[in-house]
Structure 1
């Protein structure tokens, strides 16, 4: 992993611990940190050009999210996510999000829905630009802000946690193949249906969108497997 790349992710705008956690998530997404591999805090700290303490703190934050697991006297192992895990995360999200989208369509202030249009466009633009960090950040803000219109904070918190655990590894290759753009454009379609007041169609769109996200996970897994086989 390129130390200079990690250094570039560190700024003075937020707590060092939070910055490191964000950078580590970015490295996971880009495939720079590999599932099943153990990384030591001192080694990562050297890449960041900082002390090991904030790295350990950030790794503990990621452990709380299920992204890594501590390995005694060695460091932290990047958690591997099985196909069964991904299927279950998708099922849970569908059980929660699909009916919630229908309810929000029937009750939400249309102005609040329209306010999400720039975020939907940011998702599309970042997908086209292969800006994965911005893509995932905009996608997270869109979905959680939309669900927040339900007024149920615990629901939003639960979906946020599911999203963290069902992260995508090696998204870079998918973005370069243009596979993220179609999924990104579905956010505009969803908003159009909700603004039209068509709850049934909005629910169907949300279900289809989650299915496409699961397909991207499968694509990412296949790419990771191919890379591992080549390495061997």
Structure 2
């Protein structure tokens, strides 16, 4: 896989079909806990919630069944899967093994010309927080991190991280957003671009390690672990 270029970085989060856009929104709603773990939702109910007809919702939810995020319930709808604390710990542990060293290795190879586009992706995350748009935050965060990891040139690594992120639950994000405390985490993405621009791989690796640590602390429950 070739690394992203400045011409396509800004299109990484764009989708061509309504089904894809609905799937992304539903996936983010599951990850954030806006769709409650263990609850069953019908396609018409979700369609009304997201302002679309039941058909693209039903199609999108079938995609999420394949991802293991929901389970089809005949004649009822879709049940949101529950993930154990141990599974979440394990997911974060694997991400820590992969992402920080990969970011470290990417820092020297990211062209200067791509920095404005990465900065714009980081700003998308901040803007979502300013709008109090939790689903938008998760989607923008996903796009930024996969774009960054794309500079590794390893499509398999990017796919693995994408799957790990999808299976994670960040149920503490909603209260953090309401309290205004998510701003600092959003700003860390600009901090990361600053370190890339400064060509400081070690500091970028450490920031990414701390950032992922939020997954099982700040973002999981709304409070940092001791």
Please report the TM-score for the alignment, with normalisation by the length of structure 1.
0.77
CA spacing shift, 1:180–1:213, aligned 2, 3 Å: farther
Q: Residue in 2 aligned with 1:202?
A: 204
Partner of 2:73: 71
**Structure 1 position 187 matched with structure 2 position 189:** yes
Contact 1:101 1:206 in 2 (8 A): yes
Q: How many Å separate the matches in 1 of 2:104 and 2:139?
A: 24
Counterpart CA distance in 2 for 1:71 and 1:205 is: 42
CA distance in structure 2 between the aligned counterparts of 1:49 and 1:188, rounded to whole angstroms: 32
Match of 2:40 in 1: 38
> Structure 2 regions of 5+ residues with no counterpart?
1-14
Alignment of 1:146 with 2:164, yes or no, is: no
| Corresponding residue to 1:105 among 104, 107, 115 | 107
Conserved? CA contact 1:68–1:77, under 8 Å: yes
CA contact (8 A) 2:40 2:80 kept: yes
Residue 32 of structure 1 and its aligned partner are, at CA, apart by 4.4
Whole-angstrom CA distance in 1 between matches of 2:48 and 2:187: 39
Over aligned residues, Cα RMSD in angstroms? 2.7
Instruction: Give how far 1:205 is off.
Output: 0.8
- Per the alignment, residue 156 of structure 1 pairs with 158
Question: How many residues matched?
Answer: 210
Mapping for residues 48-127 of structure 1, pairs under 5 Å = 52-127=54-129
Task: Work out whether residues 130 and 176 of structure 1, in 8 Å CA contact, stay in contact via their aligned partners in 2.
Answer: yes
Shift in alpha-carbon separation, 1:203–1:70, aligned structure 2, 3 A: same
Q: Is the 8 A contact 1:113 1:146 kept in 2?
A: no
Cα distance per residue 1:25-58 (max 9 Å; x no partner): 3543664421101223355456668765433322
User: Match for residue 135 of structure 1?
Assistant: 137
For normalisation by structure 2, the TM-score amounts to: 0.79
CA distance in 2, matches of 1:99, 1:33: 33
Give 1:166-185 correspondences, 5 Å limit: 166-169=168-171, 171-185=173-187
Change (3 A) 1:124 1:64: same
